[in-house]
Amino acid sequence: MTASTPAPGEATTERVRGIFSGIAGRYDTFNMLASMGIDRGWRRQLVKACALRADSRVLDLCAGTGDVALAIAAQAQPESVVVTDFTPEMLAIAEQKAQKYSGATALTFAHADAQELPFADASFDVVTVAFGVRNLPHRDRNFAEVLRVLKPGGRYVILEFSRPTFGPWRGAYHIYLRSVIPALGGMLTGDREGFVYLNDSIRRFPTQPQLAAELREQGFSAISWKNLSGGIVALHTAVK
Ligand SMILES: C[S@@+](CC[C@H](N)C(=O)[O-])C[C@H]1O[C@@H](n2cnc3c(N)ncnc32)[C@H](O)[C@@H]1O
């Protein structure tokens, strides 16, 4: 490995954007097959954790193909959701899918790096991110930016792969990650390496209490988390 080669599972802007621009067209199919449809239930739980009102203004980061933003709009109908991502190919699919939405929520789209947000201070009631913070080289910058754009009392809701709490379940899950995910991802997208990164990045990511501690250190309060599917993913909530 050279000095410029990222370590396995290490998120770099080039690596992450390269992976997602390449797999954008197959991302939704991969998600559905890899999680056997369970991801929809995880996103529903995320929407509940947002505790939205009709006048809430929401920012969705690392929005990808828009499933979180569309679930928020369909389930909770807040005033608006700003849908952001830094990979144009992913965001284009989100915009296309949103054309079918005809509810009360105003959906707008913007290219944005989650570590440097092009929004004014205190402009959102809720910020959401699903399966995004793991891909950020500088999580601390993201946390600082989210604190800046949230209104006082606003909440940050993070859905992310985590650490199953029951040992045998964790072992089985890690075998699945190591063998099934790269094979399935490689077959669907031709980018097996991208899915090896996915496996490695999940193994490197902080545990539930570690992520909570990072959020606390950064200045969030009232931090809590809920394990879903035995801790395969965790839903963290933090308040400004
Ligand atoms: C695994 S996908 C998650 C998409 C969506 N939130 C979901 O739940 O399906 C991760 C997304 O994060 C985006 N992303 C990664 N790093 C980013 C960054 N620094 N700023 C903005 N978006 C980023 C990628 O382009 C990709 O679309």
pTM strictly above 0.95: no
> 49-87, pLDDT tens digit by residue?
999 999 999 999 999 999 999 999 999 999 999 999 999
- 28 in any annotated domain: no
Q: Which residue has the tokens 């995004």?
A: 132
Q: Residue 199's pLDDT band (boundaries 50, 70, 90)?
A: confident
Q: Check residue 133 and report its DSSP letter.
A: G
- 191 in any annotated domain: no
pLDDT at residue 163, rounded to an integer: 94
CATH number of the domain to which 49 belongs: 3.40.50.150
Structural domain for 48, as ranges: 13-18+37-163+207-239
Say yes or no to pLDDT of 144 above 90: yes
- 52 in any annotated domain: yes
- 145 in any annotated domain: yes
- 180 in any annotated domain: no
Q: What's the number of domains the chain is made of?
A: 1
- 138 in any annotated domain: yes
3-state secondary structure 152-184: EEEEEEEEEECCCCCHHHHHHHHHHHHHHHHHH
- 72 in any annotated domain: yes
**160 within ligand 1 shell (Cβ under 6 A):** no
- 215 in any annotated domain: yes
Q: What is the CA radius of gyration of the chain?
A: 17
Give the separation between CA 33 and CA 74, rounded to whole angstroms: 23
Ligand 1 mutation pick, 40, 85, 116, 145, max ligand atoms within 8 A of CB: 85
**130 within ligand 1 shell (Cβ under 6 A):** yes
> 43-58, pLDDT tens digit by residue?
999 999 999 999 999 9
**125 within ligand 1 shell (Cβ under 6 A):** no
Dist. CA 64 → ligand 1 center (Å): 5
